[in-house]
Amino acid sequence: MNPRRASKPIQIGKVTVGGNAPIVVQSMTKTDTRDVKSTIEQIKELEDCGCELVRVAVPDTEAAQAISAIKRGISIPIIADIHFDYRLALAALEAGCDGLRLNPGNISEPKKVAAIARAAKARNIPIRIGVNAGSLPRAANPRLTIAQQMVDAALEQIKLLESLDFDLIKVSLKAFDVPTTIEAYQSIAQKIPYPLHIGITEAGTPRRGVVRSTVGIGTLLYLGIGDTIRVSLTAHPREEVIAGYEILKSLDLRQHGPILVSCPSCGRAEVDIVKLAEAVEEELIKIDKPIKVAVMGCVVNGPGEAKDADIGIACGKGKAVLFKKGEKIGVVEEKDFLSALMAEVERF
C-alpha cells in the first residue's frame, strides 16, 4: 500500500481535511433542503452513524437561506452544493455554510468565481472544485481523454482561484466509470497540493453501488490518494456512511465501531446463519467501540476460523458456543443466540 499523498490541510468548520487528519467520511442529504425539519432529522441520523461532514443541495435562494436554521439543529459542518447560479453560493455563505462545492462545468465565468472567492475568503470558507465527467465545461478539449478533460477543468478553476489569492481548495474528479476516475485522480494528485475528495458518481443502488464505489475509492486509497470520501448510493444516506467506514476499515485506515466477521455458511450449518448475522449487524450499528465480533455456522470450525475475534458465537443444532478471543466461555440455547452474544459484546 502506498503512503498517503501529502496534502495541504483545510478546515471545514471543526473538521480538518487533508494533511495528517484521518480520512473524513461524508455524505449528502436527500431531503428538500428547504424543509428544515426533515433535513435536520436526516442529518441527525447521519451524525448517529458517524458521518463527519454533510452536504446539502442548494437549488434556490430559499434552500441557501435554510442553511442557517439547519445549522442550529446539527453538530457537524455543512457544505452547500452549488450549481449554475453563483448568487446561491453568496447566499449560502451569508447563511453560514462551512464549505462550498462548485461545479466548474456550470459556474466558470471568472467574474462570478471571483465574487464567490472574495466572499468565501472573507469568512475563511473552503471551496471544493467538484468536477463531474457528466458535466464538463463546454470548452473542454474533445481530443483528450475524459479523465484529462476533467483534470484540465479542475486546473483551470484552481488557477483562477489562486490568481485571486484563494487557496482554501479541495478537489474532486468524479465519474461513473472507475478506470476514468482513477486515471483522473492519479493525474491531478501529482499536480496540486490540495486535499482530494474522492468518490464514484451515480454509483447506483446499494448492491451495485457499494461494489463500484469500493473498487474505485478502495483502489485510490490503496494508492495513497484521498483525504475525504463519499460513497454515492441510491439509498438512505446512512448506507453511504456505513459503506464509507467499511472501506476505510478494510484498508486499516480508520477504526470505527465494530467489525463483523461472519462465515458464509455451508452444508455443515444447522441454523440460519444469514438471518443471525443480519440481526447481529443491525445491533452492532448502535455500538461505538472497535470490537471484532464473529458469527460462525458450526461448532466444529467456527471458533478456530474466527480465532482473532474478540467475541464470537459458533452455532450448532439448537445450541451455540460463545467464545472470547478463541476460548470457549459458555453454551447458549437457540432462542438466546442474539441476546447472549450482544450481552457479551456490551460487557467486553
CB of 326 to ligand SF4, least distance (A): 14
Contact residue for ligand SF4 among 133, 296, 322, 345 (CB under 6 A): 296
CB atoms within 10 A of CB 43: 24
Element (H, E) at 30: none
Strands 327-333, 319-324: pairing kind: antiparallel
Q: In 3-state terms, what secondary structure has residue 153?
A: helix
Q: 140-165 burial by CB neighbour count: b if 16+ within 10 A, else e?
A: beeeeebbbbbbbbbbbbbebbeebe
Question: What mask, x for binding ligand SF4 by CB under 6 A, covers residues 299 to 328?
Answer: --xx--x-----------------------
CB of 271 to ligand SF4, least distance (A): 9
Which three three-digit cell numbers place residue 257? 465501531
Question: What mask, x for binding ligand SF4 by CB under 6 A, covers residues 216 to 255?
Answer: ----------------------------------------
Nearer to ligand SF4, 35 or 334 (CB): 334
Half-sphere exposure of 330 (CA within 13 A, CB side): 10
Nearer to ligand SF4, 46 or 295 (CB): 295
Contact residue for ligand SF4 among 26, 265, 316, 332 (CB under 6 A): 265
Contact residue for ligand SF4 among 266, 285, 329, 331 (CB under 6 A): 266
Nearer to ligand SF4, 10 or 263 (CB): 263
CB of 312 to ligand SF4, least distance (A): 10
Nearer to ligand SF4, 274 or 343 (CB): 274
Which three three-digit cell numbers place residue 291? 470490537
Nearer to ligand SF4, 102 or 320 (CB): 320
Determine the Cα–Cα distance for residues 165 and 163; give it in Å rounded to an integer. Answer: 5
The interface region with ligand SF4, picked from 33-41, 81-89, 189-197, 263-271 by CB under 6 A, is 263-271
DSSP H helices, 96-205, are 110-123, 146-163, 178-189
The interface region with ligand SF4, picked from 24-32, 143-151, 167-175, 296-304 by CB under 6 A, is 296-304
264 touches ligand SF4 (CB under 6 A): yes
Closest CA to 20 of 33, 38, 4, 39: 4
Nearer to ligand SF4, 166 or 323 (CB): 323
Determine the Cα–Cα distance for residues 40 and 231; give it in Å rounded to an integer. Answer: 20
Determine the Cα–Cα distance for residues 38 and 70; give it in Å rounded to an integer. Answer: 10
263 touches ligand SF4 (CB under 6 A): yes
CB atoms within 10 A of CB 124: 10
Contact residue for ligand SF4 among 70, 221, 269, 345 (CB under 6 A): 269
Residues 7-26 that bind ligand SF4 (CB under 6 A): none
Give the list of residues 6+ apart from residue 232 with CB closer than 8 angstroms, or none. Answer: 28, 199, 200, 201, 202, 203, 209, 213, 240
| Residues lying near ligand SF4 in the complex (CB under 6 A) | 263-266, 268-269, 296-298, 301-302, 305
